[in-house]
Amino acid sequence: MQLTQPEVNDFRRTLLAWYGENQRPLPWRRDRDPYRIWVSEIMLQQTRVAAVLYRYERFLERFPSLERLASARVNSLLAEWSGLGYYRRARHLHGAARILVRERQGVFPQTASELARLPGIGAYTAAAIASMAFAEPVPAIDGNVERVLRRIIGKRQRRRDLRDAAEQILDRSRPGDFNQALMELGATVCLPSRPRCPACPIRGFCSTRGCGELRQLKPRRRKRNITYAIVQRQHEIILVKRDPGSRLLPGMWELPEVDNEKGKTWFSLRHSITTTDFTVYVVRLAGLPGGGRWIKMSSLDMLPLTGLARKILRVAGIIQSL
DNA sequence: AATCCGGGGCA
DNA sequence: TGCCCAGGATT
The pLDDT profile of chain A, 322 residues, written as one tens digit per residue, is 678 889 999 999 999 999 999 998 899 999 999 999 999 999 999 898 888 988 899 999 999 999 999 999 999 999 999 889 999 999 999 999 999 999 999 999 999 999 999 999 999 999 999 999 999 999 999 988 988 998 888 866 777 788 889 999 999 999 999 999 999 999 888 888 778 888 899 999 998 876 655 555 566 667 888 899 999 999 999 999 988 888 888 889 999 999 887 778 899 998 888 778 888 999 999 987 677 899 999 999 889 999 899 999 998 999 886 6
* Residue A270 Cβ under 7 A from any strand C atom: yes
Find, among A266, A271, A180, the residue nearest to A225 by Cα: A271
Spanning CA of A221 to C1' of C2, the rounded length in angstroms is 10
Q: Which helix (H) or strand (E) holds A60?
A: helix A49-62
A179 contacts A132 by C-beta, under 8 angstroms: yes
Print burial letters for A114-124: b (CB count within 10 Å at least 16), e (below 16): ebbebebbebb
- Could you tell me the pTM of the whole model? 0.92
Give the pLDDT of residue A322: 63
* Residue A143 Cβ under 7 A from any strand C atom: yes
Is A41 tagged catalytic? yes
| Domains of chain A (ranges, CATH numbers) | 5-205 (1.10.340.30), 222-315 (3.90.79.10)
Q: How many CB atoms lie within 10 A of CB A268?
A: 12
* Sequence-separated contacts (24+) of A195-198 with Cβ below 8 Å: A195/A151
CA distance A294 to A191: 48
Find, among A267, A251, A268, the residue nearest to A306 by Cα: A251
Give the pLDDT of residue A100: 96
CB proximity list for A10: less than 8 A, separation 6 or greater: none
| Nucleotide closest to A125 measured between CA and C1' | C7
